[in-house]
């Protein structure tokens, strides 16, 4: 056998048609409906018995499983066999039990097979109710089989009733006159499908008396019994007609409202009909007659179609003009129906009595309902019991309703409707609906009586008093049989619960509740003990234009009305529906929360009043709407671009243009007449930045697409759930449960449809003049007539013909605008968008590491993120012990209760001690101790446990051991591994492209992975951003140079294993990798790192071979290695003298001698003076100094007086001399060791203060070895009474002066961490909040030669920018801080000042152009380079080279020669050179913040560029473009 699964109803239909053709081909006999009926039907229909109507559409009933897939012919056969084989004996027993049930209760007909001539809610609810009853009664929900009619539209919409039915028959699509209201078709199907009964539900043909009559006549002709479930046709004709029911009510003396038939009566004839003349007398036949009646009874009035219902065929008119418009609308909505006019009852409530009658003359009232919440006379909420009416009043309503039913022999379920006026307790008869109403589950909820089930019992001839659920409601035995008193009416106050219902409709509350149609992607609803609901469609279904707008119903119950209301509110909040349609869900929730509804003081006009006044609305906050709309469109733009690129790959198109455009894509949206312009830039697979023009505001957004197609959106501190869809009329979103529409901006001269349906007619002639707001057309949508109004005034031109099928967005008419200047305009948004921002929180070291590493990984993956700050943040974290402590704590926390408490306490103590005793700069050594102590604690604990427990514990502590293993190699080694991983990420992409054209590489990837386009896309995306990725790789390789200083370790012995990737990078071919390969090659040469002992040994060899003078200017000298040689007998003197020459390189060393003093103390004495020109060539004083090597800190106190005895300066009149003490013993380790060292040294120095002053000593330094790191240096100055000068700590003796730090005192600088020991970074601040001005000063010295070359200068600039990058990570630095760079070049340059200045201007112009973006981001406002020009005679002149923005132009270059104060060494004059000659001289120390810098700070604060800076950037950009063009060479023409 063959099994074919088909997952959609539309596909099923095609399969069934194919199956039918196969069946025809295989059969020699003529096709007959009897042969294709259900294989388990009771009756056999002879061939040819089907009517012509059926033969014109020969589609058989299809047996179905009730799940959302159907099989073809073989599956149908299999299912039929299965159900037959359930087996025949079971089926016979079931039928016997059902007959016994019916006969025991006085019935005479068994109904086993039912046709439902309806769709949507009616069909769904009927099947649900009767299947529930069948299962409870007979244990088989399929005891009654259901055949349903299925139009093409319902099949395509995946309608729920089709899924629930046992079988379906396809019927013609289109309006209901083709199908569910086609009486002939329904009767023919009843016969052809061999059914026992016909259920009609509500709507369609449910109130058409011709249906029952024709069915009865056909049944008699064929000798069949097919029961119509409903009242008899004569009674339906008279009561189903509103006019007839009012006439009968007046005949019975029931109170009615004033209408056109006042005082008229009708005589019920023997056949249950009314005389035609009496009926016609009560009808309206013309608009003039309607106006005459309205004038008589007074406005407002209601114009009604007698056969209307469900809000159709009913209009309110407040005046004659409205009545003239309403008349044709009512005629159109219910074609052929008689019309009548009744007075509008103001302030009234709409109450209903649920009645049921049987053929035995019984009639009952099953309580009532309050349906007063209506919109355009269509019910919105229903509730029961109706508490607004006193018990005795509603008792009268029920009694009169039952009497009326009995008097006419009413059978089946019906509803008597009343208008009740609470003010005077009067009530008026409205109509009797001879059918089940959509709100009947409210009655079921309060009475526990199934109305479809009761209808079935009545149809089988069972008296009402023998229906089990009816008996229970009247307090009788549920399973009993026999008459009971049905004349008692249960008061509303005695019901133990209240039920409230809400209709879920496909209508747009923002557009006057216009019907909408289309696909439904998702319905999310969960029933509970308080709420239940049902829907006529399911996910992937829909609501078509010929369906009723209602597709769902929710019911909430509670002990009180208020409890039921709250339960319904919560249910509506939880209900989610997404698709092409609009719904009223959110609006209903708001209605339930209004005060009048809560207090139950509404009337039938209440809701229409709210709609008219727009006093209830459901809106998202405008800013939320705009941002989330931008999020969706930005997300969609990115995804569409990616999809387009992949689609191109599938076609063999290898262009990566789409990926280049992906980095910055513009789009616009309009909301409430304001246009917003955005640019979207992806920052990660799930992150992008929205940039708003023109403000430049950036919003970082994180998104995640859920399985249901929704977007989880996060930005700032806000999170949202967003469903969105682009529709013909614009973007529709469901934002956190609230629907938001951003309409497209249409031409005001075009009128477009906002509904799907049929254009009924134009209300104005083609070419006529119309006014804004005037109705110009009518459309029919979902059985409703919709008025379409003009948006502007002018002359109209029709675009379609009446009767045309229209969709949303279709052009209906064009307009020649009367006054184009008055048309509403769209203005661009010029501000910033507001949203909740997270509270400022400082990142932990672990968070900083993870976030920066992730950011750098994303850069390597091709996303545009500023990399430099992330590099510094990552390296700063990697060099901190806090990272290791956090990693260990995180691993322990992840174990939870698995980690033994004793071990947890022990490990926590180790970590706490490490954090408490941490000494700045000792991270590497402390981490080694920490990981060892942690490992020891774990090992010791496990060793104490029994063997079995030890085995269990080892995998438990594995996560902690993983951290120990990571950092056990050392902080630097771990950092190398992290950097290497990032470089490997770079190489994994570029190894694909290196050495071959891009298209060849892409083609090769496609061949290798034809089914993995995601991999090809991600690789191509990364390569497309080669330039920033290469720049990051260069930065990472450069950072490796700083590792020995950054981590305080010696160079590794040989190339580190982790950095093998650098070797591969150095070998990369191609000009695009040239710079990176060069940097990698240079690092490889630098990589010949040596252990500290080897460095000391080599320095010793250099001292022995080259001597003091040569070694002193050698770039390879490591100062901490020099200190290690101070006690080497062979080179101690040379080492000390080299140290002095390097410390005082900017001075002239006049004399130097090393001697051994008393006690074996080695002392180097030296005399020196300033080398640069002084003001007026005044002679500089000769200064004197000593460098003494002492055994340890304890010896300092005794050594100073001894040293001073031989201290012999030339000048003691002023403090110009120095004393340096170098200790052989290192500083103690541990917390507090540094403070103790400083205190001891300071005490020793201050004890000799008077003696020091007498010798003219201004500066005493104590140098403590700290191998392999830079020695610790503590300075004690005379101007501080020889207390420690913290600003000079860890600076070698002359560094403070060479960095000119005294000039920064106006800014009260605070020292920040720096990468290099030759650099100092300070944060200066002036003013108080909110007007705080900050400056970052990155100042350094260099011993490098060749600073007059572009290559060496660029290296120095990049190192300074790295220092700034690290500084900006400090939480104390404001984003508005400006930056100032200063570099003091110590080696003299053999060029004239004029040559130096000119060369500087050329070099600096190139560097600023090349690095303009980074300079601007780091807010660099000034760059100073102090160099020393040396002539042939060895005379030196200090030259100040500057690039400054202080004059306005951004980083304008200049140069000055300097003249020093001979005593202080401070520059006292800066003289410009004009044509090689000195011009104007002036003094300019660092001033307080100027007005210019304040304006620049304001610009930075708001995230923009200061105007003067922009001009500079523009200049650099033009130069850069020219340079690129020149480098590329001439273009071929």
Token reading at 519: 């696909």
Contact 247, 278 (CB under 8 A): yes
Q: Which residues are catalytic?
A: 435
Q: What is the predicted pLDDT for the residue at 482?
A: 94
CA distances from 262 to 247, 275, 350, 965 (A): 9, 17, 21, 98
Which DSSP category does 830 fall into? -
Distance, in Å, from the CA atom of 1122 to the CA atom of 1100, rounded to the nearest integer, reads: 9
* Among candidate residues 539, 646, 550, the one with its CA nearest the CA of residue 1017: 646
In DSSP notation, 204-256 reads: TTTT-HHHHHHHHHHHHHHT---EESSS-HHHHHHHSSHHHHHHHHHHTT--B
The helix or strand, by DSSP H or E, that contains position 881, with its residue range, turns out to be helix 881-895
Respond yes or no on whether the N-terminal peptide bond of residue 694 is cis (omega within 30° of 0). yes
* Among candidate residues 434, 418, 438, the one with its CA nearest the CA of residue 239: 434
Which DSSP category does 334 fall into? S
Distance, in Å, from the CA atom of 774 to the CA atom of 668, rounded to the nearest integer, reads: 31
Tens digit of each residue's pLDDT (9 = 90 or more) over 700-732: 999 999 877 889 999 999 999 998 888 877 888
Contact 300, 316 (CB under 8 A): yes
* Among candidate residues 553, 580, 583, 544, the one with its CA nearest the CA of residue 158: 544
Other residues' Cβ atoms within 10 Å of the Cβ of residue 780: 22
Strand partners, 317: 301
Distance, in Å, from the CA atom of 1403 to the CA atom of 1410, rounded to the nearest integer, reads: 11
Distance, in Å, from the CA atom of 896 to the CA atom of 904, rounded to the nearest integer, reads: 10
Tens digit of each residue's pLDDT (9 = 90 or more) over 444-470: 999 999 999 999 999 999 999 999 999
Strand partners, 775: 789
Q: What is the predicted pLDDT for the residue at 1311?
A: 92
Distance, in Å, from the CA atom of 96 to the CA atom of 88, rounded to the nearest integer, reads: 12
Distance, in Å, from the CA atom of 929 to the CA atom of 10, rounded to the nearest integer, reads: 72
Distance, in Å, from the CA atom of 513 to the CA atom of 1529, rounded to the nearest integer, reads: 68
Q: What is the predicted pLDDT for the residue at 843?
A: 87
* Among candidate residues 513, 501, 586, the one with its CA nearest the CA of residue 784: 513
Q: What is the predicted pLDDT for the residue at 268?
A: 77
Strand partners, 713: 703, 720
In DSSP notation, 172-210 reads: --SSGGGTTT-HHHHHHHHHHTT-SEEE--SSTTTT-HH
Which DSSP category does 1328 fall into? -
Q: What is the predicted pLDDT for the residue at 47?
A: 30
Helix pair angle (881-895, 958-968), 10° resolution = 170
Contact 504, 585 (CB under 8 A): yes
Query: What residue ranges of the chain have pLDDT lower than 50?
Result: 1-85, 1088-1089, 1485-1489, 1502, 1532-1533
* 3-state SS class at 1290: coil
- Strands (E) in 1191-1255, as ranges, are 1217-1223
Contact 112, 42 (CB under 8 A): yes
Pairing state of beta strands 1162-1170 and 1147-1156? antiparallel
* Among candidate residues 709, 646, 647, 683, the one with its CA nearest the CA of residue 1014: 646
Distance, in Å, from the CA atom of 539 to the CA atom of 259, rounded to the nearest integer, reads: 46
Helix pair angle (1196-1205, 1233-1247), 10° resolution = 30
């Amino acid at each position: 056998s063959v099994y074919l699964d088909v997952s959609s109803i539309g596909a099923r239909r095609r399969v069934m048609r194919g199956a039918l053709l196969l069946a025809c081909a295989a059969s020699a006999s003529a096709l007959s409906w009897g042969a294709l009926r259900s294989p388990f039907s009771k009756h056999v229909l002879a061939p040819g018995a089907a009517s012509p109507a059926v033969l014109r559409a020969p589609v058989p009933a299809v047996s179905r499983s009730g799940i959302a897939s159907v099989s073809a012919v073989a599956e149908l056969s299999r299912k039929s066999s299965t159900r037959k084989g359930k087996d025949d004996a079971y089926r016979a027993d079931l039928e016997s039990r059902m007959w016994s049930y019916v006969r025991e209760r006085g019935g005479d007909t068994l109904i086993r097979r039912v046709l439902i001539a309806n769709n949507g809610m009616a069909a769904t609810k009927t099947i649900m109710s009767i299947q529930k009853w069948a299962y409870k009664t007979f244990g088989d929900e399929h005891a009654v089989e259901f055949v349903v009619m299925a139009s093409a539209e319902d099949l395509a919409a995946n309608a729920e009733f089709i899924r629930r039915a046992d079988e379906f028959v396809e019927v013609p699509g289109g309006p209901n006159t083709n199908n569910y209201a086609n009486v002939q078709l329904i009767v023919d199907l009843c016969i052809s499908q061999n059914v026992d009964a016909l259920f009609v539900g509500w709507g369609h043909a449910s109130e058409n008396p011709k249906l029952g009559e024709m069915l009865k006549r056909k049944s008699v002709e064929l000798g069949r019994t097919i029961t119509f479930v409903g009242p008899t046709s004569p009674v339906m004709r008279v009561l189903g007609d509103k006019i007839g029911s009012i006439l009968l009510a007046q005949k019975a003396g029931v109170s009615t409202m004033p209408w056109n038939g006042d005082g008229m009566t009708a005589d019920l004839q023997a056949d249950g009909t009314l005389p035609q003349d009496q009926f016609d007398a009560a009808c309206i036949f013309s608009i003039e007659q309607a106006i005459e009646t309205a004038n008589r009874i007074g406005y407002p009035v209601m114009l009604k179609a007698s056969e209307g219902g469900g809000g159709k065929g009913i209009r309110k008119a407040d005046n004659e003009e409205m009545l003239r418009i309403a008349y044709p609308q009512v005629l159109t909505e219910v074609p052929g129906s008689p019309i009548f006019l009744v007075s509008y009852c103001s302030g009234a409530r709409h109450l209903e009595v649920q009645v049921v009658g049987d053929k035995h003359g019984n009639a009952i009232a099953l309580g009532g309902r309050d349906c007063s919440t209506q919109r355009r006379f269509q019910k919105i909420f229903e509730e029961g019991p109706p508490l607004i009416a006193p018990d005795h009043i509603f008792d009268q309503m029920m009694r009169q309703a039952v009497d009326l039913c009995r008097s006419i022999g009413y059978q089946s379920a019906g509803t008597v409707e009343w208008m009740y006026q609470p003010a005077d307790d009067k009530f008026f008869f409205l109509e009797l609906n001879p059918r089940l109403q959509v709100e009947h589950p409210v009655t079921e909820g309060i009475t526990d009586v199934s109305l479809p089930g009761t209808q079935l019992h009545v149809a089988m001839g069972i008296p009402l008093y023998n229906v089990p659920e009816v008996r229970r409601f009247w307090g009788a035995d549920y399973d009993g049989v026999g008459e009971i008193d049905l004349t008692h009416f249960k008061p509303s106050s005695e019901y133990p619960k209240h039920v409230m219902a809400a209709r879920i409709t496909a209508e747009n509350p923002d557009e006057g509740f216009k019907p909408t149609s289309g696909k439904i992607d998702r319905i999310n609803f969960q029933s509970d003990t308080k709420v239940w609901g049902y829907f006529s469609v399911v996910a992937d279904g829909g609501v078509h234009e010929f369906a009723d707008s209602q597709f769902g119903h929710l019911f909430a119950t509670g002990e009180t009305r208020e409890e039921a209301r709250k339960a319904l509110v919560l249910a509506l909040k939880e209900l989610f529906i997404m698709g092409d349609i609009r719904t009223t869900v959110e609006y209903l929730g708001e209605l339930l929360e209004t005060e009048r509804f809560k207090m139950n003081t509404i009337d039938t006009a209440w809701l229409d009043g709210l709609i008219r006044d727009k006093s209830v609305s459901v809106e998202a906050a405008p800013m939320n709407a705009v941002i989330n709309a931008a999020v969706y469109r930005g997300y969609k733009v990115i995804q569409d671009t990616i999809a387009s690129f992949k689609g191109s790959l599938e076609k063999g198109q290898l262009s990566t243009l789409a990926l280049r455009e992906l980095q910055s894509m513009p789009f616009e949206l309009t909301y409430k007449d304001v246009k917003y312009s955005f640019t979207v830039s992806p920052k990660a697979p799930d992150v992008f930045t929205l940039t708003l023009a023109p403000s430049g505001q950036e919003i970082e957004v994180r998104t995640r697409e859920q399985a249901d197609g929704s977007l989880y959106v996060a930005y700032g501190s806000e999170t949202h759930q967003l469903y969105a869809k682009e529709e013909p009329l614009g973007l529709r979103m469901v934002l956190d449960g609230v629907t938001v529409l951003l309409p497209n901006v249409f031409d005001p001269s075009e009128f477009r449809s906002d509904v799907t349906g049929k254009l009924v007619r134009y209300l104005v002639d083609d070419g006529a003049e119309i006014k804004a707001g005037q109705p110009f057309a009518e459309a029919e949508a979902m059985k409703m007539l919709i008025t379409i109004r003009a948006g502007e005034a002018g002359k109209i031109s029709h675009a379609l013909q009446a009767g045309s099928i229209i969709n949303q967005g279709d052009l209906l008419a064009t307009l020649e605008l009367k006054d184009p200047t008055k048309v509403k305009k769209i203005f661009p948004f010029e501000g910033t968008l507001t949203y909740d921002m997270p509270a400022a929180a400082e990142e932990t070291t672990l968070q900083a590491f993870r976030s920066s590493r992730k950011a750098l990984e994303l850069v390597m993956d091709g996303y545009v993120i500023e990399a430099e700050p992330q590099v510094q943040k990552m390296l700063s974290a990697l060099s901190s012990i806090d990272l290791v402590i956090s990693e260990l704590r995180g691993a322990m926390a992840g174990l939870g209760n698995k980690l033994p408490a004793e071990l947890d306490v022990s490990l926590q103590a180790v970590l706490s001690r490490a954090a408490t005793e941490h000494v700045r700069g000792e991270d590497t050594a402390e981490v080694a101790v920490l990981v060892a102590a942690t490992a020891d604690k774990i090992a010791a604990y496990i060793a104490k446990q029994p063997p079995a427990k030890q085995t269990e514990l080892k995998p438990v502590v594995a996560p902690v051991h993983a951290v120990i293993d990571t950092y056990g190699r050392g902080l630097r080694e771990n950092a190398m591994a992290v950097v290497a991983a990032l470089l490997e990420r770079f190489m994994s992409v570029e190894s694909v492209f290196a050495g071959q054209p891009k298209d060849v590489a892409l083609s090769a990837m496609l061949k290798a992975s034809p089914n993995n386009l995601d991999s090809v896309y991600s690789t191509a995306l990364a390569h497309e951003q080669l330039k920033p990725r290469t720049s990051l790789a260069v930065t990472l390789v450069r950072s490796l140079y700083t590792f020995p200083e950054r981590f305080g370790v010696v160079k590794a012995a040989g190339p580190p294993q982790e950095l093998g990737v650098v070797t591969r990078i150095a070998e990369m071919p191609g000009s695009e990798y040239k710079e990176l390969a060069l940097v990698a090659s240079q690092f490889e040469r630098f990589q010949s790192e040596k252990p500290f002992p080897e460095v000391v040994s080599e320095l010793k060899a250099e001292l022995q071979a080259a001597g003091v003078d040569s070694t002193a200017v050698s770039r390879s000298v490591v100062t901490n290695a020099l200190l290690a040689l101070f006690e080497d007998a062979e080179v101690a003197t040379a080492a000390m003298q080299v140290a002095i020459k390097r410390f005082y390189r900017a001075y002239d060393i006049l004399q130097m001698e090393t001697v051994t003093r008393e006690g074996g103390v080695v002392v180097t004495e030296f005399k020196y003076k300033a080398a640069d020109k002084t003001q007026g060539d005044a002679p500089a004083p000769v200064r004197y100094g000593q460098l003494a090597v002492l055994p340890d800190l304890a010896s300092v106190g005794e050594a100073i007086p001894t040293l001073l005895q031989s201290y012999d300066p030339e000048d003691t009149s002023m403090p110009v001399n120095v004393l340096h003490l170098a200790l052989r013993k290192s500083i103690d380790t541990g917390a507090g060791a540094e403070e103790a060292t400083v205190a001891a040294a300071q005490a020793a120095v201050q004890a000799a203060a008077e003696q020091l002053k007498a010798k003219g000593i201004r500066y005493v330094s104590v140098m403590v070895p700290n191998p392999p790191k830079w020695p610790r240096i503590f300075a004690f100055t005379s101007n501080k009474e020889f207390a420690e000068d913290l600003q000079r700590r860890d600076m070698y003796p002359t560094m403070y002066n060479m960095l000119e730090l005294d000039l920064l005192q106006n800014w009260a600088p605070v020292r920040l961490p720096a990468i290099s020991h030759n650099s100092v970074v300070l944060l200066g601040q002036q003013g108080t909040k909110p007007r705080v001005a900050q400056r970052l000063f990155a100042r350094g010295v260099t011993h490098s030669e060749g600073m007059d070359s572009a290559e060496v200068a660029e290296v120095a600039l990049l190192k300074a920018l790295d220092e700034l990058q690290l500084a900006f990570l400090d939480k104390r630095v404001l984003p508005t801080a400006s930056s100032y760079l200063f570099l003091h070049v110590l080696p003299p340059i053999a060029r004239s000042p004029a040559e130096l200045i000119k060369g500087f201007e050329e070099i600096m112009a190139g560097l600023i152009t090349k690095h303009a973006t980074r300079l601007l981001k780091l807010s660099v406002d000034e760059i100073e380079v102090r160099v020393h020009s040396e002539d042939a005679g060895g005379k030196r002149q200090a030259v100040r080279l500057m690039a400054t923005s202080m004059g306005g132009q951004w980083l304008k270059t200049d140069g000055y020669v300097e003249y020093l104060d001979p005593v202080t060494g401070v520059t006292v004059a800066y003289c410009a050179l004009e044509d090689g000659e000195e011009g104007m001289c002036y003094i300019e120390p660092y001033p307080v913040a100027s007005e210019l810098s304040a304006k620049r700070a304001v610009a930075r604060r708001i995230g923009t560029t200061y105007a003067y800076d922009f001009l500079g950037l523009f200049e650099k950009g033009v130069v850069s473009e020219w340079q690129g063009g020149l480098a590329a060479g001439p273009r071929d023409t």
